[in-house]
């Protein structure tokens, strides 16, 4: 490749909001001499990059991460999580292969310990303690990924935003895209990474047991408008302030397929609409372009000019809907944290199905 071709390629990358472009000059290709870029060219690249950025962009490409992986203020989290019936162990898989330098974020572990509902949002203090134990600072830019492409990573993206951390992005296509792009992975995680994951779990336990945890270096800024409770969803049935969009499969939404967890009724919240999370993604599990996302919502009669609330089974895939809406400029979409596991298990909540109203 010529210098001009390399410069052209570099301009196609999408860096983040306020991070300076890590240009890694001079470039060098096999069998060639190094080709330096002038300061004017660097300035041109930076200017071009800033103009092309969108504050609504919630994902980043594997190419961007590969180029910026060693930046000191970039922290990478493996937030892989799987449905119980998949019988996959995310921590074991992390130890076998993960993006170099990535830390493990335990979706089930960094959660509210006062409820039987799965992986509910922890308290501010508990989240701050766990994130501090992982060595993450408020100034850090965080890239979160998972082993499916875009799945549980969106949940952790939402969690950080709930606690006031906006400098977080989902890796588009996740670990599968990283690996198919030919980028290296690490195996046999360093003892430091495993110790940090363990320390985060211990910190959560201590907070909920009322014990002292220290030092807590991460500061939270809770954003209550991004989280909805059962009571708010009940109120919304009557007032209809928000369009309620359910990310579960159509069969589960219609009540014709059983729920994967025992003791939970089948069906949906009255007045809600179904848009399975898989429709936000393409075949390689990357987020669809804005025009295609918009079409998906409009096809289900969901107006992008009105407020939206999302839910799913346990509050994981609802965050994928929120991720897609974020790309469309709707950056204030709340997620019903308890989702169908809470609603369907409550004998006092109304349930609709495709055939019979109960």
> Could you tell me what percent of the chain has a pLDDT over 70?
82
- Residue with the larger pLDDT of the pair 55 and 159: 159
Residues 74-128 pLDDT 10s: 999 999 999 888 889 999 999 999 999 999 999 999 999 999 899 999 999 999 9
Mean pLDDT within 56-68: 92
9 — alpha (psi -120 to 50), left (phi > 0) or beta?
alpha
Q: What's the predicted TM-score (pTM) here?
A: 0.84
Query: If you average pLDDT over residues 297-305, what whole number do you get?
Result: 96
Q: How confident is the model at residue 229 (pLDDT cuts 50, 70, 90)?
A: very high
pLDDT higher than threshold 50 for residue 10: no
HSE value, Cβ hemisphere, 13 Å, CA-based, for 291: 0
CA–CA separation, 74 and 219 (whole Å)? 18
**pLDDT per position as a tens digit, 232-249:** 999 999 999 999 999 999
| Rg of the chain on CA atoms, in Å | 21
Q: Give me the mean pLDDT over the 61-73 stretch.
A: 93
- Lowest-pLDDT range, 10-19, 59-68, 125-134? 10-19
The whole-number pLDDT of residue 191 equals 76
Average pLDDT over residues 165-173: 95
List, for residues 170-219, the tens digit of each pLDDT value: 999 999 999 999 999 998 666 788 899 999 999 999 999 999 998 999 99
Query: In this predicted structure, what is the pLDDT of residue 193?
Result: 86
Q: What is the pLDDT of residue 141?
A: 92
Specify the pLDDT at position 354: 82
Average pLDDT of the chain to the nearest whole number: 84
Residue 41's pLDDT is 33
Distance CA 61, CA 262 (A): 38
Look at residue 27 in the predicted model and tell me its pLDDT. Answer: 24
pLDDT at 138 over 90: yes
Whether residue 13 has pLDDT greater than 90: no
CA–CA separation, 140 and 190 (whole Å): 21
How far, in Å, CA of 42 to CA of 339, rounded?
48
Check pLDDT > 70 for residue 167. yes
DSSP state of 224: G
Q: What is the pLDDT of residue 343?
A: 97
From 3, 35, 274, 312, active-site residue: 312
Q: What is the pLDDT of residue 260?
A: 83
- In this prediction, residues 26-42 reach a mean pLDDT of 30
Cα gap 327→331, rounded to integer Å? 8
- Does residue 135 contact residue 103 with C-beta atoms inside 8 Å? yes
How many angstroms separate the CA atoms of 206 and 357, rounded? Answer: 45
Could you give the CA distance from residue 349 to residue 342 in angstroms, rounded to a whole number?
10
The 10s digit of each residue's pLDDT in 318-327 is 999 999 999 9
Extract the tokens encoding 261.
């967890």
For 262, other C-beta atoms within 10 Å of its C-beta total: 7
Tokens (6 digits) for 238: 């009557």
Give the percent of the chain with pLDDT over 90: 75
User: Catalytic site residue 274?
Assistant: no
pLDDT of 26 strictly over 70 = no
Q: How far is CA 42 from the centre of its chain?
A: 32
Lowest mean pLDDT among 42-51, 143-152, 244-253: 42-51
Determine the pLDDT at residue 259. 86
- Pairwise pLDDT comparison (214 vs 45), residue with the higher score: 214
pLDDT of residue 189: 62
């Amino acid at each position: 490749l010529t210098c001009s071709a390399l410069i052209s390629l570099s301009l196609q990358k999408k860096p983040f909001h306020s991070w300076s472009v890590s240009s890694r000059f001079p470039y060098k290709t096999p069998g060639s001499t190094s080709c330096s870029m002038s300061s004017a060219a660097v300035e041109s690249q930076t200017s071009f990059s800033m103009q092309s950025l969108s504050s609504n962009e919630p994902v980043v490409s594997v190419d961007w991460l590969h180029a910026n992986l060693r930046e000191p203020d970039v922290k990478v989290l493996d937030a892989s999580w799987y449905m119980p019936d998949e019988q996959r162990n995310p921590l074991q898989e992390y130890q076998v292969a993960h993006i170099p330098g990535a830390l493990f974020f335990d979706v089930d572990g960094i959660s509210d310990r006062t409820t039987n509902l799965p992986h509910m949002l922890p308290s501010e203090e508990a989240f701050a303690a766990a994130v501090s134990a992982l060595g993450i600072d408020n100034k850090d830019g965080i890239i979160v990924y998972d082993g499916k492409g875009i799945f549980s990573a969106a949940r952790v993206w939402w969690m950080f935003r709930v606690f006031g951390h906006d400098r977080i992005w989902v890796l588009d296509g996740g670990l599968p895209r990283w690996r198919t792009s030919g980028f290296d992975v690490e195996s046999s995680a360093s003892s430091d990474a495993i110790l940090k994951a363990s320390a985060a779990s211990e910190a959560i336990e201590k907070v909920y047991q009322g014990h002292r945890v220290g030092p807590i270096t991460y500061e939270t800024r809770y954003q209550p408008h991004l989280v909805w409770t059962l009571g708010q969803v009940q109120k919304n049935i009557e007032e209809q302030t928000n369009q309620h969009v359910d990310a579960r499969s159509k069969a589960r939404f219609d009540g014709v397929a059983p729920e994967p967890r025992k003791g939970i009724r089948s069906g949906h919240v009255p007045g809600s609409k179904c848009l399975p999370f898989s429709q936000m993604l393409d075949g390689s599990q990357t987020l669809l372009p804005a025009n295609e996302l918009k079409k998906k919502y409009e096809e289900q009669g969901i107006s992008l000019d009105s407020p939206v609330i999302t839910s799913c089974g346990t509050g994981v895939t609802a965050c994928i809907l929120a991720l897609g809406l974020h790309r469309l400029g709707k950056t204030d979409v709340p997620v019903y944290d308890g989702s169908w596991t809470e609603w369907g298990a409550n004998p006092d909540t109304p349930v609709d199905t495709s055939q019979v109203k109960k």
